[in-house]
Structure 1
Amino acid sequence: MSSGIRFDSVTVAYGGNVVLDSLDLTVDPGEVMALLGPSGSGKTTALRAVAGFVTPASGRVFIGERDVTGLPPHRRGIGMVVQQYALFPHMRVDENVAFGLRAQKAPKQEVPARVADALELVGMAAYAKRYPRELSGGQQQRVAIARALAIRPGVLLLDEPLSALDAQLRSGMLAELARLHRELPDVSILYVTHDQVEALTLADRIAVMDKARLQDCGTPQELYRRPRTEFTASFVGNANLLPVSVGEGAVSLGATEVKVATDGVAAGVTATLCVRPHLMGLGPGPNALTGSVTEVQWRGATHRLYVDVGGHAVKADVRELRVPPGLGEQVTLHFAPEDAVLLSAGVGSDG
């Protein structure tokens, strides 16, 4: 049976230091919600509040319709996977996966079949009799996921589950987690990460955390294409964030007027223009910006150009150039009006 998660004004503090501040957030049944933010933003504390490892100073945590704020972890019906796998080294793979079932006093006759099902689901059925030391890091993480799924939780908590893996393994595990989500559509997943690629790849929605507070929440496409805050724009993807002045029907970057929807931003204020580097074109075009090249980076399929435009550093990712511009060379960049977002100072800054 599927269960969602609801944070109702949850605050967590240690010795007067608030590490999670009045979090209101709902994870719908069957949804993957990523908590994305830098270290110390409160994302892992939020997950631990759901798991029952920390007690809120105020507010309530719900799993489905149950208020679980005062329940111990083993009574919450959740599965959890952490960064370092936490497998028991003296137990075989099948014994590790069975551990949660036995702790929940599942009927003994059911345990072997449920262990086999969980291992089959993560592609580890052939490794049931091995010990953790005989497995690679990626295989150990699959076993940890199988252990969490064996209890058939309504909620699965993933705390930086891929951060200990190298880049190639991480990419493969991302695909596996996406597959698992398709095969387990009723399981709600709360996924803590500081890696924007993981969040963009897996999540139905992303909650952006900073300084113990929720800063923004939306689908990956919403947060990437139309961020509400400078923090979201810089943390979800990569962005040019340029200070502009907003006048009556005009937006100016220094002496250059640019055309962009003001979306209700009042005239007479300083705002921030957000344009993603891959949406910047090289050469003449709408909203042309001219400047001097300060750095060129070859990135395989693209060149990243750094251009000084009136004292502002502008990044542009353009298709690989046979002859890229040299340092100090004057170039023109441009962007389409619909590819830019105007951010009003202070929007969303209070969480």
Structure 2
Amino acid sequence: MSETAPATAGTRPAGIHLDRVSVAYGKHTVLDGLDLTVAPGELMALLGPSGSGKTTALRAVAGFVRPVSGRVYLGGRDVTALPPHRRGIGMVVQSYALFPHMRVAENVAFGLRARKTPRRDIAERVAEALEMTGMAAYARRYPRELSGGQQQRVAIARALAIRPSVLLLDEPLSALDARLRSGMLAELARLHRELTDVSILYVTHDQIEALTLADRIAVMDNARLQDCGTPQELYRRPRTEFTASFVGNANLLPVTLAETGPDGTVGADLGGTRLRAHGAGAPAARGAAATLCVRPHLVGLGPGPNALRGTVAEVQWRGATHRLLVDVAGTRLTADVRELRTPPALGAQVELHFAAEDAVLLPVASAPAAVTAAPEAVPGGGGRG
């Protein structure tokens, strides 16, 4: 138990470091060689579909599953063989797991009592945690007397009361309705700003939660880490088709590569129409197949650069925008345009356009052989606004 994880920010060891961690149930691998580092004060979102391995990664950090290979470090300490109660983590799960027979203050104090915290300190810690989560006025209530959002805050207060260096959140907002979820996102963002030394691992399948809260996002699929970066990086310059389609909506158009321009953009042919796009990550060979990625809200209606003509297949009114589904050169392209007074009719011929800097070319069906998610700098780029 003397091994230590490498430092990742200045001279401080990482808050969380998974070193090539694999988990298997029998012959079925559910987490495959995960390298992941979360710095102190950083919120890392694990984003992916069901069965992608994200919850297994969180459970490996918590100590609820034992890796078949690799090591888990918390604060530079190898905790791979330690049971959950000796890892000093705070954890919040989907169901909140509050004790129905205990009042709010007693629920929050539970972890402190389990750790044999001196009685004189418990009341102070409970009051501090309830104040931080805005639940101080509800200390005497039972869970059944609280709304779903209030119960979630109590669960978070209980996790924070032990003053953990690592906080694990497993789909914490999935049981809330849209209005409560929006309010809790704001509360979690505020807590993240205040918990400057706590490493937070946040598991979700909801891209809005990840984009809103995270400093960085680790994208998981098929038990492996597919991509990792800041929300802006993954949204604006995804490296794989999977990232492009899972982190926000995306048009993925099959193209053939042409020449590279002096401005660094690359030409691409779609059904005989020449387009230009950002070329980072695209295969270099002229004539190679590639995928052009452009977000629907960056596609405009009317003439402009990278003009495409197509037939309107569907029009959806979405309040502030109209979503146009247009058949272009044998593929379906989606454009989200500001609400139109007179939207085009089904079957109408329309012209669409997008800027070269708003599109990126990707290798076809690409997935990196290995992605190491280590922070390049002190966190603060993603979700603190």
Cα separation, 2, equivalents of 1:56 and 1:3: 19
Residue aligning to 1:257: 274
Instruction: Please say if residues 2 and 187 of structure 1, whose CA atoms lie closer than 8 Å, have aligned partners that are also in contact.
Output: no
Q: How does 1:120-199 map to 2 (within 5 A)?
A: 120-199=131-210
Question: Does residue 217 of the first structure (1) align with residue 228 of the second (2)?
Answer: yes
Partner residue of 1:101 out of 80, 87, 112: 112
Asked if residue 304 in structure 1 is aligned to residue 315 in structure 2, the reply is no
Measured on the aligned residues, the alpha-carbon RMSD in Å equals 1.2
C-alpha distance in 2 between matches for 1:125 and 1:259:
57
Structure 2 counterpart of 1:51: 62
Matched, 1:201 2:212: yes
TM-score, normalised on structure 2? 0.89
- Between the aligned residues of both structures, percent identity stands at 77
How far apart, in 2, do the equivalents of 1:315 and 1:280 lie? 8
- d(CA) in 1 for partners of 2:344 and 2:114? 64
Please say if residues 13 and 76 of structure 2, whose CA atoms lie closer than 8 Å, have aligned partners that are also in contact: no
Is the CA contact (8 Å cut-off) linking 2:14 and 2:37 kept in structure 1? no
Residue 361 of structure 2 corresponds to residue 342 of structure 1: yes
Q: Distance in 2 between matches of 1:214 and 1:70?
A: 23
1:276 alignment partner in structure 2 = 295
Scaled by the length of structure 1, what TM-score is found?
0.98
Larger deviation, residues 1-10 vs 240-249: 1-10
Whole-Å separation in 2 of the counterparts to 1:42 and 1:98: 32
Name the SS of the counterpart of 2:277 in structure 1: coil
Specify every segment of 5 or more residues in structure 1 that has no aligned partner in the other structure, as ranges.
none
CA shift digits 1:193-213 (9 cap, x unpaired): 000000000000000000000
Alignment of 1:72-83 (within 5 A): 72-83=83-94
Distance 2:278 2:171 in 1: 38
Q: Which residue of 1 aligns with 2:8?
A: none
Amino acid at match of 2:292: L
Does the residue aligned with 1:50 lie in a helix, a strand or coil? Answer: helix
Shift of 1:349: 4.3
Counterparts of 1:75 and 1:233, CA distance in 2: 39
Name the amino acid aligned to 1:326: A
Contact 1:283 1:331 in 2 (8 A): yes
Contact 1:77-1:154 at 8 Å conserved across structures: yes
Aligned-partner Cα distance in 2 for 1:309–1:248: 22
Question: Tell me, which stretches of 5 or more residues in structure 2 are unaligned?
Answer: 1-11, 261-266, 371-385
CA drift at 1:3: 5.8
Q: Distance in 1 between matches of 2:144 and 2:26?
A: 39
Mapped to 2, the partners of 1:291 and 1:201 lie a distance apart of: 34
Q: How many residues align?
A: 351
